[in-house]
Amino acid sequence: MPSQLIEKYFRTNSLPHIWCPGCGNGIVLRAIVKAIDNIGIDQNNVCVVSGIGCSSRASGYLDFNTVHTTHGRALAFATGIKLANPNLHVIVITGDGDCAAIGGNHLIHAARRNIDITTIVFNNNIYGMTGGQYSPTTPTGDKGTTAPYGNIDANFDLCELAKAAGATYVSRSTVYGANMIIKQVEAGIKNRGFSFIETLTTCPTYYGRKNKKGDPVDLIRHLKEISVNKTEYEKLPEEKRMGKIVIGELYRGERPEYTDEYIKIIESFKGEI
Amino acid sequence: MPEGRIKLMQGNEACVEAAIIAGMEFFAGYPITPSTEIAELSAAKLPRIGGKFIQMEDEIGSISAVIGASLAGKKSMTATSGPGFSLKQEGIGYAIMAEVPCVIVNVQRGGPSTGMPTSPAQGDIMQARWGTHGDHSIIALYPSTVREIFDTTIRAFNLAEKYRTPVILLMDEVIGHMREKILVPNKNDIKIYNRKKPTSGPKDYRPYQVKEGDIVPQMASFGEGYRFHVTGLVHNEMGFPSNDNKVAQNLINRLINKIENNIEDIVEYEEYRLEDAEEIIVAYGVTARSAKSAIDILRDEGLKIGLFRPITIWPVAQRQLEEIAKKVNSILVVEMNMGQYALEIDRIAGKYTRVGKYGRVDGELVTPEEIVSFVREGKDCQAN
């Protein structure tokens, strides 16, 4: 089955990918194409837009309409694409630095508009491509090459941010649970509005090594240990919630979708012309 | 818009009317003085013709959305002024590298930084040329009247489509806001150029291959069945990133040469009273209007003086300027900056003739009188 997915959805002439051995990004990428395959969308109608960073290289490997944009701007490019051609299923692949730091403004405004874009953040808690600098999601106290004495910044809860900004589907998953990623990407694509899926992935080369978190398997095991499904989390007593990360579908909302609203304005002039 | 009729129109308004005639279907912008009317009018007009307008969260977002919309097949434009133009350089570089047609209007104001938001200036000449990083060529146009804003905006779209490149439309605050009468041309008299679509099927499509007889690669739109990749990285003919030295050199050569080898097609200029001229003024935009009046006054005094007015600022009209330089005693470049275009004119003409400059950056226009007295005094160089 995996090889069939590769044959169908990957540009095999653009492989091998550039990701390090043990990187979790491949798990997320497979889940994305599996979700698209499950829904059965015509590849010609899918547009994958990415920014800059390790995860954002994914667009080049995929056989859809694909754009590898500038750092942080994937959502702004995607907004133009979606508004120009609302028939396209627009999927943004981004990383924690790309989406939450340099592209943070575009994230909150895309969510505010509730434009029909499915955003998947590959959150590895570090700037991997540039060699391991701390990102807005690096946990406080952890190390990066630019935080040699430990990061004193507070880290973002990206799902809370997306929810507060107006996203109508918000979920979180980890590369330990690939099936959950598939389900969430499917739900995100089906949601007519802005969908935000944060997937916790692993960077053994920089984040893992710098913070002495062990080998790639240890990193994935760690994700399993700290993540708790939303329904279980809510049953946990306060003292057991410490250090846990909530996964699963976190929020669903109902709001008018942006391109639909714009088309209504266009339609209102139809009689005049 | 009524065709074939005389209309009183603001420069910024003429820009939007012309853009729609040129085929603009998408505008993304961010409010900034003195270009805001372009966004406001686009917001009002585009949905009425089935087009789209969006006010983005910032200037970088708006150029990014414009590039995205162009990739999806819509002729797209954004408009800004100095501080916003600085921010848009990131997207301009991307559009150059990925060969995405789009139009960027810069209604200039005083700088650097926030500068003088409501005052005219011509300080972005070099930023239009070299604002984004890396080696590249660029097309920048500079109209001088409201009517010319109309024609030049259409031309900006045509050149963007023909050469698959961002085109910068530099405007003066004064002309952007001034109202002049223009004769609205009939649509049938206007030539519109659309990007060349692929002649091959999706299977054989190489998105960055230039086919025999073409200037640029044929361009499919997203959603048409051609599933191609676009990146700001150095890329091969398939659009995939490459670190190959030859691929990199060939790509940059091609991006530069598609413009530099077609200068005669791209360059547009006006010559005024140049026939027997021994002294030449080079000026553009609103400053050229003052220069014309100054030339009329000086001609009445018996001085053989004329004007060379570039309408295409970049690429520069090198051949024409060289020919002129060989025949005249001196060239004076007059502009509302400290001598930016004078640098370029001196590079071209300096080996043949004396090149002087006159400029001011105090937020006031250069008047005909000050040009007249400067020429009378026979000075070479002044910047107030």
- CB of B87 less than 8 A from some CB of A: no
Q: Residues 49 to 88 of A: which have CB under 8 A from any B CB?
A: 49, 59-60, 63-70, 73, 76-81, 83-85, 87-88
pLDDT of the residue at B184 = 86
3-state secondary structure at position A144: strand
pLDDT of the residue at A54 = 97
- Residue extents of the structural domains in chain B: 6-189, 270-383
Q: What value does the mean pLDDT of chain B take?
A: 96
CB contacts, 8 Å: A47 with chain B:
72, 222-223
Residue B252 has pLDDT above 70, yes or no: yes
Would you call B60 and A65 a contact, using CB atoms and an 8 Å cutoff? no
Q: How many residues does chain B have?
A: 384
- Where do the domains of chain A lie, and which CATH numbers do they carry? 2-272 (3.40.50.970)
Contact partners, residue B277, CB within 8 Å, separation at least 6: B304, B305, B306, B328
Question: Between 1.10.3720.10, 3.40.30.10, 3.40.50.970, 3.20.20.20, what CATH number should domain B6-189 receive?
Answer: 3.40.50.970
Of the candidates A60, A64, A77, which has its C-beta nearest B64's C-beta? A77
Q: What is the mean pLDDT of residues B257-272?
A: 98
CB contacts, 8 Å: A77 with chain B:
64-65, 67-68, 71
Q: How far apart are alpha carbons A227 and A248 in whole angstroms?
A: 10
Q: What is the mean pLDDT of residues B358-380?
A: 92
pLDDT of the residue at B332 = 97
Alpha helices in chain A (DSSP H): 2-9, 25-39, 58-61, 74-84, 96, 104-113, 158-165, 178-190, 209-210, 216-226, 230-235, 238-241, 258-268
Q: What is the pLDDT of residues A191-231, one digit of tens each?
A: 999 999 999 999 999 999 999 999 999 999 999 999 999 99
Kindly write down the DSSP assignment for every residue of B352-382, as one continuous string. TSEEEEEE--SSSPPPHHHHHHHHHHT-SEE
CB contacts, 8 Å: A45 with chain B:
223
ipTM summary value: 0.97
3-state helix, strand, coil in chain B (%, to 5): 40, 20, 40
Show the low-confidence residues of chain A (pLDDT under 70).
Answer: 1-2, 272-273
User: Strand B312-314 to strand B330-335: parallel, antiparallel, or no bridges (unpaired)?
Assistant: unpaired
CB contacts, 8 Å: A66 with chain B:
227-230
Residue B169 has pLDDT above 70, yes or no: yes
Residue B4's pLDDT band, with cuts at 50, 70 and 90, is confident
What residue has token string 């013709």?
A: B49
| Continuous segment of H or E residues that includes residue B80 | strand B75-80
- Which residue, among A249, A248, A232, A250, has the nearest Cα to A240 in the 3D structure? A232
Degrees, nearest 5: CA angle B22-B27-B30: 140
Q: What is the pLDDT of residues B40-71, one digit of tens each?
A: 999 999 999 999 999 999 999 999 999 999 99
Q: What is the mean pLDDT of residues B183-207?
A: 94
- Which residue, among B298, B308, B287, B296, has the nearest Cα to B367 in the 3D structure? B287
Structure token pair of residue B59: 């200037």
3-state helix, strand, coil in chain A (%, to 5): 45, 20, 35
Residue B384's pLDDT band, with cuts at 50, 70 and 90, is very low
Q: How far apart are alpha carbons B41 and B47 in whole angstroms?
A: 11
Residue B378's pLDDT band, with cuts at 50, 70 and 90, is confident
Contact partners, residue B189, CB within 8 Å, separation at least 6: none
Phi and psi angles of residue A97, each rounded to the nearest 5 degrees, phi first: -70, -45
Do B6-189 and B270-383 come out as alike in CATH topology?
Answer: yes
Would you call B48 and A269 a contact, using CB atoms and an 8 Å cutoff? yes
Q: Which residues pair with B312 in a beta bridge?
A: B141
Q: What is the pLDDT of residues B94-148, one digit of tens each?
A: 999 999 999 999 999 999 999 999 999 999 999 999 999 999 999 999 999 999 9
B188 and B18 Cβ atoms separated by less than 8 Å: no
Identify the closest residue of chain A to B75 by CA–CA distance.
A84
Burial of B252 (0-12, 13-18, 19+ CB in 10 A): middle
Residue B381's pLDDT band, with cuts at 50, 70 and 90, is low
- Which residue, among A245, A217, A219, A213, has the nearest Cα to A230 in the 3D structure? A245
Cα A27 → chain centroid? 13
3-state secondary structure at position B286: helix
3-state secondary structure at position B239: coil
Would you call B231 and A68 a contact, using CB atoms and an 8 Å cutoff? yes
Determine the residue among B42, B52, B92 to mutate to test chain A binding: the one whose Cβ has the most chain A Cβ atoms within 10 Å.
Answer: B52
CB contacts, 8 Å: A79 with chain B:
54, 56, 61, 64-65, 68
The CATH architecture that domain B270-383 belongs to is: 3-Layer(aba) Sandwich (3.40)
pLDDT of the residue at A273 = 54
